[in-house]
A = this chain, B = another copy of it.
Amino acid sequence: MPRPPSFDREEKIEEAMDLFWEQGYEATSVQDLVDHLGLNRSSLYNTFGGKHDLYLEALDHYRARDRRRLRRCLRDAPTALDGIRRAFVAVAERATESQCGCFTANATVECAPHDPCTEERACEAFRAMRALFQKAVERAQEEGAVPAGRDAEALGRYLTNAYNGIHLTAKTGPTSALVQDIVEETLRGLRGRPRGTGDHERPTS
Q: Which A residues are closer than 8 A to B by beta carbons? A: 22-24, 26-27, 99-101, 105-106, 108-110, 112-114, 122-123, 125-127, 144-145, 147-149, 151, 154-155, 157-158, 160-166, 168-169, 171-174, 178, 181-182, 184-186, 188-189, 191-195, 197, 199, 201, 203-205
Complex CA–CA separation, A165 to B168 (angstroms):
8
Complex CA–CA separation, A147 to B105 (angstroms):
34
Interchain CB contact under 8 A, B24 and A110: yes
Interchain CB contact under 8 A, A24 and B113: yes
How many copies of the chain does the oligomer comprise?
Answer: 2
A189 touches which of B127, B171, B174, B185 (Cβ 8 Å): B185
| Contact partners of A99 in chain B: CB under 8 A | 113
| Contact partners of A163 in chain B: CB under 8 A | 165
| Contact partners of A194 in chain B: CB under 8 A | 204
Interchain CB contact under 8 A, A161 and B172: no
Interchain CB contact under 8 A, A105 and B109: yes
Interchain CB contact under 8 A, A123 and B160: no
Extra contacts besides A127-B173, A164-B168 (19): CB < 8 Å = A105-B109, A108-B172, A112-B171, A126-B169, A127-B172, A145-B201, A147-B203, A147-B204, A148-B204, A157-B185, A158-B182, A158-B185, A161-B166, A161-B168, A165-B168, A185-B189, A186-B189, A191-B199, A197-B204
A109 touches which of B109, B151, B160, B174 (Cβ 8 Å): B109
Interchain CB contact under 8 A, B168 and A108: yes
Distance in angstroms from A176 CB to nearest chain B CB is: 13
| Contact partners of A173 in chain B: CB under 8 A | 123, 126-127
Complex CA–CA separation, A154 to B177 (angstroms):
11
